[in-house]
Chain A
Amino acid sequence: MNKYTYRTLILEVFAILVALLFLAPFYFVINNSFKTFADILIDPASLAVNPTLNNYTTAWEVINFPSAFFNSIVITVFSNIGLVLISSLAAYRLLRYPSKINGIIFGLFIAAMVIPFQSIMIPLVRVTSALGFANSRLGLIFSYFGFGVSLPIFLYHGFIKSIPKSIEESAIVDGCSTYGVFGRIVAPLLKPMTATVLILNTLWIWNDFLLPSLILHDKELKTIPLAVSGFFAQYTKKWDLALAALVLAILPIVIFFLSLQKFIIRGIVAGSVKG
C-alpha cells in the first residue's frame, strides 16, 4: 500500500498543477508591481522587462508603511498579551471553582461566540466613544480584549479539563496560594494551548479591517488594512502603486506564516477541535 506507483505520480503532477493555479494570483500581483503603469496595461501576463522599484518607493510613502506596520504590530502584540492573560485566568477559575454564578458567566462567554460582529458594531461605536476608547490604539486593544475573549476561554477551558487536578490539590495542601497554583503550576502547563491562542488571535487581529476602521480615524493610527483601504479609496485604479502597496501589505503576514508554518498549521488544527 505504501508504494509509489504510476497512479501516485499522476496524482502528484495534478496536485502540483493545482498548486501553481493557486499561486497564479500572486504571480500577477508581484510581477506587475515592478512594472510601469503603461506596461501593466499593455500586457499584465508577461514578465516585467525593465523591473523598477519606483512603485515601491512611492507606495511606501503613500500608505505610510512604517507607521502602519508599527500600529499593526503594537495592536496585535498587546491585544495578544492581554487576551492570553485574562482568558487563561478566567477559564481556570470558571472550571476549577464551579458555582452557579461561574456557570452562568461561562455560559455567557460561550453563547456570545455566535454574535456576529455586525450585530454589535453600531452601539459599540457609541459605547467606545463614550468611554474615550475612540481614536486610540489602547481603545482598540481593549475592544479586542472584550470581543476576543470568548474563544480563548472556550479553548483554555477545554484544555484545563484534561489536566489532572491532583497536582494543583497537592500544591494547595502544601500551602500554595490560589495565585501561586495558577502562576507556578497551571500557567506553564497551558503553553501548548497558549501557542494556539496566539496564532489564531494574531491572524485575526492583524488582518482585521472593520473594527479598527470604526475605532481609529487619525492617519497616524492606521493599521495596514486601513492604510491600504484608504489608498484604494483615494487612488482608484492606480494599479502600479496599488500592486506595490498590496505586496508590501501582504509580505509581513506571509513571512510570519512561512517561518512558523509548522506551528501555525498545528495550532489551527488544535484550535478547531471542539470540546
Chain B
Amino acid sequence: MNKKKLRYLLDEVVFIGPAFIFFLIIVIIPFIIGMYYSFTSWDGVNDNITWVGLDNFIYLFKDEGFINSFIFTLKFTFVSVIITNLIALLLALVLTSQIKTSKVLRTVFFTPNVISGLLLGFVWQFIFVNGFSAIGEMTDLAFFNLPWLGTASTAFWAIIIVSSWQGAGYLMVIYIAGIINIPTDLKEAAGIDGANAFQRFFKVTLPMIMSSITICLFLSISWAFKMFDLNYALTKGGPFNSTKSVALDIYLEAFQNNNYGLGTAKAFVFFIVVAGITALQVKLTKEREVEM
C-alpha cells in the first residue's frame, strides 16, 4: 500500500470511525441479533436459545393482546395526528396575525413539549383524577365528572387530550415558520382579487405550507406510533389493557413476561409497520409540495 492510500484510510478511520463504532454496537448489532432472537423462544435469562422458526410470528398474529394494542395504536395515531395538527395550525394562524401577545403565547404553547412525557403522564393522572372532579363539582359540567381513567373509551380520549396538549406547541412552531415564509404579496394579491379569508387560507396559505405539513405529519405520526412514556405513566395500558400502545406491549412482553423471543418478533413487526407508514406518508405529502 502506498503512503497516499494509507493516509486516506487513516483519515477515514479518524473522521468516521468513532461515530460508526458506537452506531454499530448500539444500533446495527442489536438490530441483527434482534432479528435472530425473533425466531427463537429465548426467555432472556436461559442460555439455551432454541430456534422455533416462524412460530413467534404465527403466534403474534393470533395474540389478541398484541392485535388489540396495534388497533389501539392505529386508532390513537389517526385521531391524535388530526387533532394535534389542527390545533397547531389554528394556533399558528392566530399567532401570525396582528395580535400583540404573540411572542409570550408562543412560549406558553411550546412549554409542555420541553417536559418529559413520563412527568406529564403523572401530572395528568392527578388532573384527571383530582383536578377534573373538583372542577366538575364547581361547575356541574358532565365533561369533568366522567371517570376519565376508569373506562376504556374515556381513557382513550384522556391520552388524546394529553398528547395533543404536549405536541401541538411543537408543531405550531413549525407551522408558524411556514406561514411566515409565504411572500406577503401573494396574500395581498389574493386579497385584491377579492378572495375572502377562507379562500386565502385554502388557495394560498395551505398549498404554500405543504412542506411544513410534511414535517408535522411525519413528526406527529412517529410520535404517536412510538408513544411509550406518556402511556406508561398515565394509564400503564389500562383499564383492562384498553390503552396499551404497541411500544408498551413490547416492553411488557420482554421485561415483565420475560418472553424475549416473542418480544423481539413483535418489535420486528413494529419496525416494519413504522418504517412503512412513515415512508408512505413522506412520499404522499412530498408530491403535494409547491416549489417556489
**A interface, CB within 8 angstroms of B:** 1-5, 8, 11-12, 14-16, 18-19, 22-23, 25, 28-29, 32, 40-41, 43-45, 85-87, 89-90, 92-94, 97, 101-102, 105, 108-109, 112, 114-124, 126-128, 131, 142-143, 145-147, 149-150, 153, 178-179, 182, 203, 206-210, 214, 224-225, 228-229, 232, 239, 242-243, 246, 249-250, 253-254, 256-258, 261, 264-265, 268-269, 272-274
Instruction: Decide yes or no whether B98 CB sits under 8 A from chain A.
Output: yes
In the complex, the chain A residue whose C-beta lies closest to that of B109 is A22
Does B110 lie within 8 Å of A44, measured CB to CB?
no
Q: Which residue of the partner chain, among A40, A232, A273, contacts B130 with CB atoms under 8 Å?
A: A40
Q: Which residues of chain B from 126 to 173 have any CB-CB distance to chain A below 8 Å in the complex?
A: 126-127, 130-131, 134-135, 138, 165, 169-170, 173
Does A124 lie within 8 Å of B26, measured CB to CB?
yes
Instruction: Decide yes or no whether B292 CB sits under 8 A from chain A.
Output: no
Does B115 lie within 8 Å of A207, measured CB to CB?
yes
Does B109 lie within 8 Å of A16, measured CB to CB?
no
Contacts of A272 in B (CB 8 A): 174, 177, 215, 219
Secondary structure at the A interface, as helix, strand, loop or mixed, is: helix
Does B30 lie within 8 Å of A124, measured CB to CB?
yes
Does A127 lie within 8 Å of B33, measured CB to CB?
yes
A253 to B120, CA, bound (A): 13
Instruction: Decide yes or no whether B58 CB sits under 8 A from chain A.
Output: no
Instruction: Decide yes or no whether B198 CB sits under 8 A from chain A.
Output: no
Contacts of A127 in B (CB 8 A): 25-26, 29-30, 33
A257 to B274, CA, bound (A): 30
Most buried by A among B15, B95, B130, B278: B15
A256 to B241, CA, bound (A): 36
Does B16 lie within 8 Å of A93, measured CB to CB?
yes
**B interface, CB within 8 angstroms of A:** 8, 11-12, 14-16, 18-20, 22-31, 33-34, 37, 44, 91, 94-95, 97-101, 104-119, 122-124, 126-127, 130-131, 134-135, 138, 165, 169-170, 173-174, 177, 188, 191, 214-215, 219, 225-226, 228-229, 232-233, 246-247, 250-251, 254-255, 260, 263-264, 267-268, 270-271, 274-275, 278-279
Most buried by A among B118, B127, B165, B275: B118
Instruction: Using known A-B contacts A19-B105, A119-B267, A122-B260, determine if residue A268 contacts B116 with beta carbons closer than 8 Å.
Output: no
Does B130 lie within 8 Å of A3, measured CB to CB?
no
Q: Which residue of the partner chain, among A120, A126, A273, contacts B31 with CB atoms under 8 Å?
A: A120
In the complex, the chain A residue whose C-beta lies closest to that of B21 is A146
